Structure 1
């Protein structure tokens, strides 16, 4: 059976409810050298449909697809190796895989160049951080100038650009997705399979400036605000959450646009975004309750486009595969 025929037949079988037969067909084709079949089987196992999610098994089929020469499978395997999906997080093997991929893939080569320019230890953790600039003591608001380089900012914007969609929430009355009532930007979260080593190292840098573990952070979310778009005053905490958002870190990815300042009305503080700067603020009080003084807004953009990345950090570890 030709390769595309195997994938098409497997998709037909799965659509008709014959999931086991579809998976067996893909596995047989993958063992015979079909990279697309191996990749599709890995995607099904990662996605959790039509097969039950099995990250360890998915890693096996990603490895097979990468061995045959599937570029996207190689990049996904690198990301999962670094972030610990399906096995313990392990930076050195992930970096070694990136070196292999970079030999033939310009995307991997560009990522490797960015990683090589970073000040990292053998575990991918930062060895140098900018000095913090306190902006408010209560609530705690701190700026870290030039936490990111221009090239790192451009990389995050590039990864996020492919994921952008209008901000939406679920209407609690109908269960339908509706336009977000207070955030009018376009955004997208960088999930585990897209958390390349550049993103992973930046997430580790965020953990370092916040004094938290990298695994406490939700997936980094990239936002784009165009003229007229804004994020009206709000709290980042989640009502009734058992694992609360205790810290927010904003990464400003560009500058030179009009408007778009971050405003804290309770303390009369307004921050003008500068590309590469990070803004950190605590969302909760010492007793763990949400702090109303952290209410903040992204003021309307008046000209150009504002690019931002947000990392919401929880009190305890987050599983990005099950996070609602």
Structure 2
């Protein structure tokens, strides 16, 4: 089938937004995606839902975003349909399902409990440490959300990098990761990000790009701190803020080993699927806290999956 004008608009707009940093052409990209959506392009309408949710080029609106997701599903977007099924019924539908998803998408959209899905957890959890804070939060994400995140990340895994090395590669970090930029994020990921922001009482703009980490047998991230070095990274901190907190969501438990270890605090933790671990990287005065040093220990059997979210003390810019 020949490429239509809306196909070209959508493909060009997505290419402009495919990087892991904000494109200088983002406004032009948004215009192209909006134009393709206005022409009825199902995939463009699905991406337009993400623009509405994030408030890119418009005021953010969950209601408009979900309305668009239902329209996209009705026009044949299976990606939109799978998101609606999970958000309404907390059910994970694999992307390779043989049968196209069918449903009353408007009715399904009406059943999505937005406030419930983005609210902070009320579970007391377990406070391992008060300074720095190391807090385990049970059942932060559902089993279906965990399956979704693993499936979304698995085809895109690459060697995980480090922030303070020009090459991005460090021999002390041998695990893999997959980032969620605009082209591969979705409404499920965005609701989890909003939930994290509410859990920390932080503006959404303080959240860095989310990622999923994968550890095979023997793969690890040796002892390190997540805060940015105030001297080596002073320009980055001045521009985009300090990395003050980290949130991990454990996505599976069919492995052995693989603890998150804080040796200076004598903490070795392994959460179950959907459990979160929230920890601070700075002290009460906002100074880097070396006691937050931690490691992702290697699994001795199986593979470990974790959703990772770094949080700054202010939005970039």
TM-score bucket (shorter structure):
0.7 to 0.9
How far residue 69 of structure 1 moved from its aligned partner, in angstroms, is 4.8
TM-score, reference length from structure 1: 0.80
Q: How does 1:218-233 map to 2 (within 5 A)?
A: 218-233=208-223
Deviation at 1:178, TM superposition (A): 5.8
Equivalence for 2:82: 110
CA displacement at 1:121 relative to structure 2: 2.5
Asked which structure has the greater RCO (Cα within 8 Å, sep 6+), the reply is 2
Partners of 2:260 and 2:295 within 8 A in 1: yes
C-alpha distance in 2 between matches for 1:171 and 1:205: 28
- Supply the distance in 2 between the matched residues of 1:237 and 1:170 (Cα, whole angstroms): 10
- Structure 1 residue ranges without an equivalent (≥5): 5-32, 320-324
Runs of 4+ in 1 over 4 A off after TM superposition: 169-172
Task: Please state how far the C-alpha of 1:301 moved relative to its aligned partner.
Answer: 0.9
Q: Which residue of 2 aligns with 1:22?
A: none
Tell me which of 66, 69, 72 is aligned to 1:101: 72
| Equivalent pairs, count | 283
Equivalent residue, structure 2, for 1:280: 278
- Separation of aligned partners in 2, 1:222 and 1:304: 17
Shift of 1:130: 2.9
Q: 1:136: Cα distance to partner?
A: 1.3
TM-score, structure 2 as length reference: 0.81
Structure 2 CA distance, aligned partners of 1:129 and 1:99? 30
The residue number in structure 2 matching 1:143 is 136
Cα distance change of structure 1 residues 228 and 45 upon mapping to structure 2, 3 Å threshold? closer
Which of 1 and 2 has greater Rg?
1
C-alpha spacing 1:119/1:171, structure 2 compared with 1 (3 Å): closer
- Mean Cα displacement is larger for which, 304-313 or 34-43? 34-43
Report what 2:295 is aligned to.
297
Q: Is contact 2:120–2:199 with CA below 8 Å preserved after alignment?
A: no
Kindly state the Cα deviation for residue 144 of structure 1 after the two structures are TM-superposed.
0.7
Partner of 1:306 in structure 2?
A: 304
In structure 2, runs of 5+ residues without a counterpart are 90-111, 231-236
**133, 142, 150: which one aligns with 1:157:** 150
Q: How does 1:26-45 map to 2 (within 5 A)?
A: 33-45=4-16
Conserved 8 A contact 1:227-1:301: yes
2: CA distance, partners of 1:198 / 1:204: 10
Distance in 1 (CA, whole Å) between partners of 2:286 and 2:203 is 18
**1:171 Cα deviation (Å)?**
8.6
RMSD: 2.4
Tell me the CA shift for residue 248 of structure 1.
Answer: 0.4
Task: Return the match for 1:76 from 47, 60, 64.
Answer: 47
CA contact (8 A) 1:259 1:301 kept: yes
SS class of match (1:194): coil
Matches within 5 A, 1:1-324: 3-4=2-3, 33-46=4-17, 53-103=24-74, 104-117=76-89, 119-121=113-115, 125-126=118-119, 129-169=122-162, 177=167, 179-240=169-230, 241-242=237-238, 243-318=241-316
Secondary structure of 1:224's partner?
strand
Report which stretch shifted further, 251-260 or 134-143. Answer: 134-143
Q: Kindly state the Cα deviation for residue 34 of structure 1 after the two structures are TM-superposed.
A: 1.8
The answer (yes or no) to whether the contact 2:73–2:81 under 8 Å persists in 1 is yes
Secondary structure of the 1:274 match is: coil
Pairwise CA distance, 1:310: 0.5
Shift of 1:183: 1.5
